Every structure is written in C-alpha cells, then in structure tokens.
Amino acid sequence: MASHRKSRTPGARVAGIRTPALATAALTSVALLSQTADAAPGDDRPSLEEVEKKVGDLYRQAESATEKYNAAKEKTAKQRKQVDTLLDDVAQRTQKLNEARAELGSYAAAQYRTGAGMPDTATFLLAETPQDVFDQRQVLDRMTGRQKAAVDDYVTQQTETMKKRQEATESLRTLTETQGDLKTAKATVQKKLADARELLSELTAEEKARLAAIEKRKQQEAARKAAELARQQAAQEQAEQQEREEAAQQGGRSSEGSGSGSTGSADTPPADSSYATKAEKALAFARAQIGKPYVWGATGPGSYDCSGLTQAAWKAAGVSLPRTTYDQVNAGTTVPVSQAQPGDLVFFYDDVTHVGLYVGNGMMIHAPKPGAYVREESVYYDGESAIHSIVRPA
C-alpha cells in the first residue's frame, strides 16, 4: 500500500483520490487550510470561520427584521382600528346629511308652493291681502334660517370627517407599504440564510466536525463565564445577607438597652418579594415552552420569537409588556449584570434585537434564532460584548 501511495505524482488532484485513507488525508488538509486567513490561490471558498460569521450575521439581521416587522404590524393594527372608527363616523354623518338634504327638498317645495321664487312685486300683486304677504315672508325667513343652519352644520361635519378619513387612509396605505417592504426584507434575509445553510451542507464531514468543535468551545466558554457570574452573585448575596444579620443584631441590642419591645427588621420581607413571586410565574411559563420552535413574528402558543416569548411569560405573571424588544427595553428598571435576578430581561446587541429571560446562575431561557428551539443557555452564548442591558420589568 505504501508503494502504491508513493507512485502518485505530487500534482495529483484531491478530487480524483478514491482510497479511504487518502480521502481522509485530503479532508484533513482542507480543514487545516480553512484555519488560515489566507486562502489558496484561486480558491474562492470561504473558511469555516467566515461561514460561521456570515450565518451569525444573517441570523441577527433576520431577528432585527422580525422586530421591525412586529412593530409595524402592531402599529398597522392600531391604525386600522382607528380608520374603521372614522369610517363608521363618516357613514353616520353622511346619513344625517342625506336627511338634511331631504329636508331641504321639502323647503324648496314649500317655497315653490308659496311663490317664493317670484319677484317681490309679483308676489305682492297676487296676494289677496297685505297680511298674506307678511305671513309668507315670516314663514320663509324661519325656514331659510333653519335650512342654512342645517346645511352649514352637516357640511362642516362631513368636510372634517372626510379629511380625517383621508388622513387615516393615507396613514394606513403608508403602513401597509412599510409592512410589505419589511416582508420583502425578511424574505431576502431568509434567502441569505438558506444560502448559508446550503454552504454548510456542502462542507465535508471533517469540516463539519471542526465547526462543531468550534461551537462546542464557544458553549464551554459561555458556560464558564455563566458559572463565574453565578459565583459573583452568590458572594454578593452572602455579603448582603451578613450585613442584614449584623444590622438586625445591632438593632436588637439597641432595643434591649432602651427597654423597647421592637424586634428589629430581621423578619421584614425583602422589598422585591412581590417581584420574585411574579418572576417565578414568568419563569414557570417560560420553562414550559422549552423545545418549541422559534418562528419569526410568533407569540405562541405553539411557537415564539424572542420578544413574543418574554411578553407571553410575563403576561402569565400578570404583567403586560410591549410587543417588541425596542419597547420592552424601556419597560422597567435597568440594573447591572452582576445584580440580575430571575425574571429579569436580558437584551443583546447594540440595536437591541434579541431578548431572553434570566433564570439565575448566569443562565437564561430564550427563543434563539430561526431553525432553533426555545432553550436554556448561558447569557454569554454570543460573548460578553453582545449583552446590551438587563431590565427588571415589574
């Protein structure tokens, strides 16, 4: 076998190799070459690191488009409701105006019967008595006054209502166009994701194994940082507990010296006990969703996107959150990462396009990305720099 291998020329093409041993060697060479930043001359194929980065960027673009779509959809629904209300109002006002026009028709008929359309001299000459002329003038004046008031009123109402309807219709048209643009953008991102997945599917077994190893190292590093955060939080909690106990002891001694019956503040529940109770309900709901697929724009119950999951979880605890990450990030109090508590919202990236629900010990539950499922993992899953902020919503 050794002599057989030596018989091949150094310039033999890798694609032409058929023996298992040589195929394995060739795959290993491809994997090693992909680690370098400089590609071989004439090789346009991206490295594994480049493929991984491209897919990650596309996932974030898709999630950003999803949040924008969610915002536009919510705004469109509100605008549509407003337009429907205005259209109902216009219909009612139009009906009143039609009734006014019918009344004006009766006024016109009455004028015709009384000869109001004739010149004043003719009306006077044809009247049986001057009193008849006076009576007709009085009736017509009253009729004309009521007629003018009715017309002015309803015409004004119709004009204002039609103006509002035009404004609302224009707003709805603009929003519908925006929503369509967002859908188009989403489709474009999904196409890029499909291209990236296709590229991944073309990797060799050796390359796929190495890519999996890269992902595993990232997960291990994320788990390590989560454990580090958990230790820091535990140490901080222990120190705070010790301070509370010391303060309680000092308060007890002061009470004994003064003869007071006060027992200090040791039995006083923490200020955030109500929050902890609500957070437990939110987390219980989120845990029950683990394993369900990420679907953009979904709010449950069979699937979720990231903000749809956090909104539904806190709704189960009786707390109403806005629909999108852009609004949820402003729906509470921002706290340092070191002081994160179970139930807090963890936001990611500079454009605030992802969110998860903190469960403690540096871990969170979230709907990660297209093609993935609701799961629990480290808040450092995409690196420490990816964390934007921590928000306590209730």
Cα-based distances in Å from 182 to 79, 119, 320, 371: 17, 68, 26, 20
Q: Which of 60, 68, 210, 354 is catalytic?
A: 354
Pairwise CA distance, residues 210 & 206, whole Å: 6
Cα-based distances in Å from 104 to 114, 133, 251, 279: 15, 22, 87, 66
Q: Which of 60, 93, 278, 366 is catalytic?
A: 366
> Hunting for tokens 């930043």 — which residue is that?
37
Q: 3-class SS at 306?
A: helix
Q: Which of 71, 229, 306, 374 is catalytic?
A: 306
Q: 3-class SS at 1?
A: coil
Residue type, 251: G
Transcribe 100-141 into DSSP letters: HHHHHHHHHHHHHHHTTTS-HHHHHHHSSSHHHHHHHHHHHH
Pairwise CA distance, residues 393 & 318, whole Å: 11
Cα-based distances in Å from 112 to 105, 108, 272: 11, 6, 82
**Catalytic: 388?**
no
Q: Which residues are catalytic?
A: 306, 354, 366
